[in-house]
Structure 1
């Protein structure tokens, strides 16, 4: 069954590859994207969204201007060493953009026009999604499901020893979302996404295919991935590939039968200190658990199915949604 997805993203490298995965996937109807600060500035995220719309020929997908700052009030810290100055690795997009694009309030219209059908997937900071709960509390009750890439529970953090980047970047926003969202959020943490390793060999094979069919949008994948992999390899020389956190989150949406979840009470640490931004889950095998909101936390998945589907879907660049 085709899933209507509203995608919140900060349009770094793995985000951009995830958007292409969504464009090429026959099971995803991408009804809109919200471009946020995070990996890059909000303005660069909007520009990247417009660039991908142009290359894929999907100008029908609205791009909404999201948050520019976290709810902490602190200036955001971008990560060009991971995603490149523009968020596209070494690629410099040649496109002029109206940085306002569609107004953020347009997401309310999409949800109201499709009650109990829209699935929100958030793979960046949660500032915009938290704002939606503040601005449109009744509308957000009409969202069918939430998938959030963020947090880490039984693995180390990636920005502090205990905190993952999306939750750490705005724990106040993460706290709002996880206390207000109904139904329970499907949380896709580092515990599983760090295992979603894609190898350079697989990317090179895809690139050969894109070159052979002349897919301009497909030709973006290898240079972006190579930049991203170089960062991960320098940080951990033992890695054989790079984790595509955001692609994994979309795969979990369309291949939910291959992901294992547990119903876990979850809390986000918002107090300034060593644990700031930490996601705490009560994984104890006891009847009595912490009085936190209960969400579905991904704990395991089929790597074989993930890789198989990623490769198959990314070869759809000239047959579905994308242009050759």
Structure 2
């Protein structure tokens, strides 16, 4: 069954890969995109979302401006060494897609979309949780009509990627994550210990690039410069890694591949107090009958890599070209 997805993203490399994948995945129907700060600032995130919109021809899908800053109150920290200065890694846009007169203060459209697709919406949040948490604050009764929520974030019994214990999406705004994890129902978490294993190797990237160049597909041709940049960063930190992980793609893939994923349903808590554990996700994974009295959520613990990567390769080669309405120059 096709999932109607409202996607929250901060439009760094793995977010862009996720939306390219989602637009070309027959099991996913994107019904709205929320672009917010995170890997890049909000203005750049919206510009990147416009680029994807133009190259997919999907002007029918609402593009919504999300949060500009976190609930922490501190200025956001961006990571150009990971995602490039503009979120596309080594790819540089050849045109100016900024529209200064349009500041995208249209957050209310989240409410409209959820109401329109009453109890059919799957929310997938692959960036900071600030916009999603704001939705819980502003529209609690409407958000309760969402069918399910998938979040890429956190890490359980596995090292963090921003601090020794914290993952970037949660660390970027633990206050927002705390709201979502406290109030969300039917929440599924795809943590770093799973997503870090969703590797797209250099050989796979080269094959994707070869097919998309043969088809002269502009959107497909941005994948290699992005993923090469991403891999370069990962190699600098983990020299033995064979490629770059598709954190956000595996989260989108997971919404319709339950049979290939192993889950634990356990209590989860976010550390919001200052100190070395700030932003940590704590899961009570003990095999006890009586566990900590935290909100209980479903946590992905393992997945079938072969099933995942086979589908991703199919979508990013055949799917992206069969669906192509691209008109832009690379």
Q: Which residue of 1 aligns with 2:115?
A: 112
Q: CA deviation at 1:21?
A: 0.1
**Structure 1 residues 219-238: aligned runs within 5 Å:** 219-238=221-240
Cα deviation 1:175-196 (Å, max 9, x = unaligned) = 000111122x100001100111
Separation of aligned partners in 2, 1:296 and 1:43? 33
Q: What is the aligned counterpart of 1:133 among 132, 136, 142?
A: 136
Q: Which residue of 2 aligns with 1:28?
A: 28
Cα deviation 1:262-302 (Å, max 9, x = unaligned) = 10100000000110000000000010100000000000100
Q: 1:251 to 1:322 in 2, by over 3 A?
A: farther
Range with bigger deviation, 95-104 or 245-254: 95-104
- Does 1:40 pair with 2:40? yes
Separation of aligned partners in 1, 2:324 and 2:119? 24
Q: CA deviation at 1:74?
A: 0.6
Q: CA deviation at 1:322?
A: 5.0
Gaps of 5+ in 1: none
Contact 2:54 2:326 in 1 (8 A): no
Gaps of 5+ in 2: none
Separation of aligned partners in 2, 1:229 and 1:222? 10
Q: Which residue of 1 aligns with 2:155?
A: 152
Q: Please tell me the root mean square deviation across aligned C-alpha atoms, in Å.
A: 1.1
Q: What is the aligned counterpart of 2:264 among 262, 265, 269?
A: 262
Q: 1:272 to 1:322 in 2, by over 3 A?
A: farther
Q: Which residue of 2 aligns with 1:286?
A: 288
Q: 1:277 to 1:322 in 2, by over 3 A?
A: farther
Separation of aligned partners in 2, 1:92 and 1:103? 28
Separation of aligned partners in 1, 2:171 and 2:324? 34
Q: Which residue of 1 aligns with 2:251?
A: 249
Q: CA deviation at 1:257?
A: 1.5
Cα deviation 1:217-243 (Å, max 9, x = unaligned) = 100101110000000011111001111
Q: CA deviation at 1:92?
A: 2.3
Q: Which residue of 2 aligns with 1:13?
A: 13
Separation of aligned partners in 1, 2:107 and 2:138? 11
Q: Which residue of 1 aligns with 2:216?
A: 214
Q: Which residue of 2 aligns with 1:96?
A: 97
Separation of aligned partners in 2, 1:48 and 1:254? 26
Contact 1:21 1:247 in 2 (8 A): yes
TM-score of the aligned structures, taking structure 1 as reference length: 0.98
Q: Secondary structure at the match of 1:60?
A: coil
Contact 1:32 1:64 in 2 (8 A): yes
Separation of aligned partners in 2, 1:278 and 1:322? 42
Q: CA deviation at 1:254?
A: 2.2
Residues matched between the structures, number: 323
Separation of aligned partners in 2, 1:150 and 1:96? 30
Q: Which residue of 2 aligns with 1:60?
A: 60
Separation of aligned partners in 2, 1:35 and 1:95? 18
Range with bigger deviation, 294-303 or 53-62: 53-62
Separation of aligned partners in 2, 1:254 and 1:14? 19
Q: Secondary structure at the match of 2:321?
A: coil
Q: 1:292 to 1:207 in 2, by over 3 A?
A: same
Contact 2:193 2:301 in 1 (8 A): yes
TM-score of the aligned structures, taking structure 2 as reference length: 0.96
Q: Secondary structure at the match of 2:55?
A: helix
Contact 1:38 1:78 in 2 (8 A): yes
